[in-house]
Amino acid sequence: MVFKITEPEYILMKKYIEEHCGIHLEKDKEYLIESRLSDLLAETGCKSFQEFHFKARTERSGELRDRIVDAMTTNETSWFRDKNTWEYLKDIAVPVLLNRASSSLSIGARTSVWSAAASTGQEIYSLMMLLDEASKERGLPLLLDKIEVLATDISVSALNAAVAARYDSIAMSRGLPDEKKEKYFTKQGNSWQFDPGLKNRVQFKKFNLQDTFLFNCDFDLILCRYVSIYFSDTFKRELFMKMAKVLKPGGILILGATESLREFSNDFEISYYKNSVINTKKLNLKR
């Protein structure tokens, strides 16, 4: 059953959603709330969005909040999404990461990567496959031990799927080359399990991009793809400022192909590699 939302209820729910995950709903998106939250509303026994909003605001556990956020986020993703971006990552970023990992053997600095809206894991596992292949080509597979890989998302269900790393045939058919499927996946029943050795190199955590960025190291590379499209201009400015602060000087921020820093940050040099946009943190930027 679909519950109708009234205008005052829409204002309340829109505010609640933006407060808890940054997703900024424009006017005329009532249908999104109705279609994504009606089942949950029914499950809670509420009779209207006003009652549902009150329940969400007054609960103590945060369980309902997490389920609302889960329902409102769009977890669309695929393997090697945006061919041009992955050419840049393979040709330039991965070799640089391995060079840094190799020099960190002597100087002890950490090489770190963050997938900041990891969804169900395809993005970070695509990168892990490239890192694995490139380190083996160098004859130095243990270089991967020197690279810290963090993957975060606000959606609990997306993160659970990422940690499980089991994909059905539809997910597998979206962008994954056959040779990588054969090399890195094992068929189990109707699904495919991603290589556990590589999976275990990724640390998954629930993290809201609205929160303060407190990490124990600065990153060489951040993938923050297809998430800022859902945020307000104000939040985009704040987000890219926080991203710049946790990148090393010269560190790279990669956005989705339809996203841009242009109006929102002066902290990055923008360049291009085969039509993909590369955002490099300015070297002279103060932290």
Contacting ligand SAM within 90-119 (CB under 6 A): 117, 119
Contacting ligand SAM within 180-219 (CB under 6 A): 208-210
- Is the CB of 38 or the CB of 73 nearer to ligand SAM? 73
- Is the CB of 225 or the CB of 248 nearer to ligand SAM? 225
Contacting ligand SAM within 218-247 (CB under 6 A): 225-227
As a whole number of angstroms, the distance between CA 278 and CA 105 comes to 27
- Is the CB of 97 or the CB of 227 nearer to ligand SAM? 227
Smallest distance, Å, CB 191 to ligand SAM? Answer: 19
Smallest distance, Å, CB 115 to ligand SAM? Answer: 7
Q: Give one word for 175, left, alpha or beta, with left for phi > 0 and alpha for psi -120 to 50.
A: left
Kindly provide the b/e burial profile for residues 35-60, where b requires at least 16 CB atoms within 10 angstroms of the residue's own CB: ebbbebbeebebeebeebbeebeeee
- Is the CB of 23 or the CB of 37 nearer to ligand SAM? 23
Question: 49-58 vs 63-72: helix axis angle to the nearest 10?
Answer: 130
As a whole number of angstroms, the distance between CA 163 and CA 115 comes to 14
- Say how many residues touch ligand SAM, by CB under 6 A: 23
As a whole number of angstroms, the distance between CA 156 and CA 159 comes to 5
Among 76, 145, 168, 269, binds ligand SAM (CB under 6 A): 76
User: Which residue type, as a one-letter code, is found at position 208?
Assistant: N
Smallest distance, Å, CB 124 to ligand SAM? Answer: 9
Among 74, 104, 232, 260, binds ligand SAM (CB under 6 A): 74
- Is the CB of 119 or the CB of 135 nearer to ligand SAM? 119
Q: How far is CA 69 from CA 75, 227, 269, in A?
A: 11, 14, 33
Q: Is 18 a residue that touches ligand SAM (CB under 6 A)?
A: no
Contacting ligand SAM within 261-280 (CB under 6 A): none
Alpha helices in the chain (DSSP H): 7-21, 30-43, 49-58, 63-72, 83-88, 94-107, 122-137, 156-164, 169-172, 178-184, 196-199, 233-245
- Is the CB of 90 or the CB of 146 nearer to ligand SAM? 90
Q: Who's near 75: CB < 8 A, 6+ residues apart?
A: 119, 120, 155, 157, 158
Among 53, 81, 90, 248, binds ligand SAM (CB under 6 A): 81
Binding characters for ligand SAM, 120-159, by CB under 6 A (x = yes) = ---x-----------------------------xxx--x-
- Is the CB of 47 or the CB of 83 nearer to ligand SAM? 83
Interface with ligand SAM (CB under 6 A): 21-23, 73-77, 81, 117, 119, 123, 153-155, 158, 208-210, 225-227, 256
